[in-house]
Amino acid sequence: MRQEISAAGCAERIRSARRVVALTGAGISTAAGVPDFRGPGGIYTTGRYDPQATFEIDGFLRDPAPFFRFTRDVLGLVADLEPTLTHRFLVGLEAAGTLRTVITQNIDPLHQRAGSRGVIAVHGGYWTSHCLACRGRFSLDELLGLLERSPVPFCSCGGVVKPDVVLFGEPVYAMEEAVAAVAAADLLLVLGSSLAVYPAAWLPEVAECPVVVVNRGPVELAAAPDRFFADAELDPFFSEVARELGMAIPEPD
Ligand code: ZN
């Protein structure tokens, strides 16, 4: 039997923890306007992008143009998005010294934009890119400059410049770091992830501490004595958690 947890119960768990780690998925960013992959209106569901041509490394290496059409859309979309209340709640918890690490599956920059410092982005992100030929590195601004000039960004050496986003068929980033962070945690918060996709699906199995999962919709994690679940929208839930903790949530800049 799955054990449910309330916002007050979650606050109580956080209050007695010293080394909290948060694992975040698409659900933390949907309230900011970032579409998720598999939900209603998701990037897969709408059929706007052919998944194999756009999101698989083999497709990218054959023809990177579909990936860069997607990239333009995404970068245009996220340019003006503000982090959600839950992103800012995690910044507050980090500032209080309770939260050690945010492990995110998301490629949007909202954790960084909110001000989180200890972020492990296992699927990478757009803030850095590199040339596939000479391995030269590019900032996000440099990538945007190249994309203004041509549909596919090229390095001065002639190589394709690939954003450091993990495509299907590529290894995820910093898994050892993520596993070490989870193994050292005394509370793991899973926020806005259905835990359907590796490596997120696997990290709660590594945890030797209580796990609290807050997600709207089904979650693929088996019931266990130290696992607690809330089927809830994140922002109202963590607004209440913050109130219970007497914690001020940092305002957006
Ligand atoms: Zn190059």
- Residue 191 resides in a domain: yes
The reported pLDDT for the residue numbered 45 is: 61
- Judged on CB neighbours under 10 Å (0-12, 13-18, 19+), 16 is exposed
Tell me how far the alpha carbon of residue 130 lies from the centroid of ligand 1, in angstroms. 8
**Is residue 40 one of the residues assigned to a domain?**
no
pLDDT of residue 130: 96
Q: Do 248 and 160 sit in the same domain of this protein? A: no
**How many angstroms does the Cα of residue 159 sit away from the middle of ligand 1?**
5
pLDDT at residue 80, as a whole number:
81
Domain match, 53 and 93 both = no
Q: Distance, CA 160 to ligand 1 centroid (Å)? A: 7
138/239 same-domain check? no
CATH number at residue 152: 3.30.1600.10
- pLDDT tens column, 127-177: 889 999 999 999 988 999 999 999 999 999 999 999 999 999 998 888 999
Answer yes or no: 130 catalytic. no
* 237 falls within a domain: yes
Q: Which of 87, 111, 123, 130 is catalytic?
A: 123
Whole-number pLDDT of residue 184: 96
Identify the pLDDT of residue 197.
Answer: 82
Answer yes or no: do 119 and 130 share one domain.
no
Domain count, the chain: 2
- Predicted local distance difference test score (pLDDT) of residue 38: 57
Q: What is the pLDDT of residue 78?
A: 78
Residues 214, 215, 218, 221: is their CA dihedral positive or negative?
negative
Mean pLDDT, 10 residues at a time, over the chain (253 residues)? Answer: 96 98 93 68 68 90 94 82 95 97 92 93 90 96 93 97 93 91 97 87 92 95 96 97 95 76
End-to-end CA distance of the chain: give it in Å, rounded.
43
CA atoms of 190 and 50, how far apart (whole Å): 29
Ligand 1 centroid distance, CA of 230 (Å): 48
Range of the domain at 245: 1-34+83-123+172-253
pLDDT value, residue 21:
98
Q: What's residue 200's pLDDT?
A: 78
